[in-house]
Amino acid sequence: MIDDMLRTPEAIRDAERWTAHNYHPLPVVISSAEGSWLTDVDGRRYLDCLAGYSALNFGHRHPTLIAAAHAQLDRLTLTSRAFIHDQFADFCRELAELCGKDLVLPMNTGAEAVETGIKVARKWGYQVKGVAPGQANIVVAEGNFHGRTTTIVSFSTDADARADFGPYTPGFTVVPYGDLAALTAAIDENTVAVLIEPIQGEQGVVVPPEGYLPGVRRVCTEQNVLFIADEIQSGLGRTGQTFACDHEGVTPDMYLLGKALGGGIVPVSAVAANTDVLGVLRPGQHGSTFGGNPLACAVATEVVRLLATGEFQRRSTELGARLHAGLRSLVGKGLVAVRGRGLWAGLDIDPTLMSGREACERLAERGVLAKDTHGATIRLAPPLVITEEEIDHAVAQLAAVLAG
């Protein structure tokens, strides 16, 4: 097949011409997918080792989730929250039970879940803790990624995400990630919450020091501050447990969930907390037209049921061990460091060899898709349905790229 017969170049040119350049995608144009594999418009297959930043934990077009979506499409897709629909209570109950919480507030995107968590924490601070009006503050971590809304980028330390989007929203104190002493020192009488990722995904799958999360839990309890865990990327089986916090036996006051909750079919996010926290909201104070819609609930309920079996957590643990063993064998052979947990890994490439972007481009040429971040770091987050053979294939292709 000669180049002028390929559909990919024209599709890329059209995308460049007609869309704002808020992303810098790899030169691949996907047309179909199944399980862990993607096929482009020219028929070439790729092993997906990004899984939509964990939105596709259950793989592409998981049959149980597709069946739930088809069934719901034939009945009811949207009512708004002006009415109750027959999928709503089951979803909220089953997700609350999975989280060990009293209540769930469904939204759509991960950023909406974070914004909801911020609003709830502030209201809790004023109504329950007794913080003076307008004085609430939230402690966050350097290197965080919680979304790209105006409020969220106000406490980002990523220049690309933050620069030129001011004026910025006040009320946040940034401390080094993993530094419990700095976090403790930042808490004052007006602090209503600590908002952190149990593992920082966008930063390069950074796992905090052992004991950090239990320390955060202890300090928040002692200081009457809410512990908010952003498990949008790290949760729902990605790390080998239902939540990344589970690895250290920690239960936050509030879970922020998204991505995988929609099964890779529809955007679904949620905040889960007990009544003493989420109960501060009253009708008219927060909402979303599409939040908790029938289609979303039908799919997300099946996601929760898949997780309730424990199968995907076990797969992430067992296959993650194989992935990390393979990646560690490449340290000193082009890799400088490997981090992560379960089927989630951040790889630091020797910057004298190539950038993360170049590594991902070379991997794509070999039929493996991954994503770079922060210079010479790339992330691997394959679907939890990946096989041992597919993991070995991905590691072998990375080894070939590093060997030049």
Would you name the residues annotated as active-site residues? 145, 230, 259
CA 136 – CA 381 distance, rounded (Å):
36
Greatest Cα-to-Cα distance within the chain, rounded to the nearest angstrom: 70
* Of 323, 343, 320, 271, the residue nearest 54 (C-alpha): 343
CA 232 – CA 55 distance, rounded (Å):
9
* Of 312, 232, 228, the residue nearest 269 (C-alpha): 232
CA 231 – CA 15 distance, rounded (Å):
32
* Of 325, 329, 343, the residue nearest 379 (C-alpha): 343
Please name the helix (run of DSSP H) or strand (run of DSSP E) that holds residue 117, with its range, or none. Answer: helix 110-124
Whether the Cβ atoms of residue 225 and residue 193 lie closer than 8 Å to each other: yes
Q: Residue 96: count other Cβ atoms within 10 Å of its Cβ.
A: 19
* Of 166, 161, 125, the residue nearest 144 (C-alpha): 161
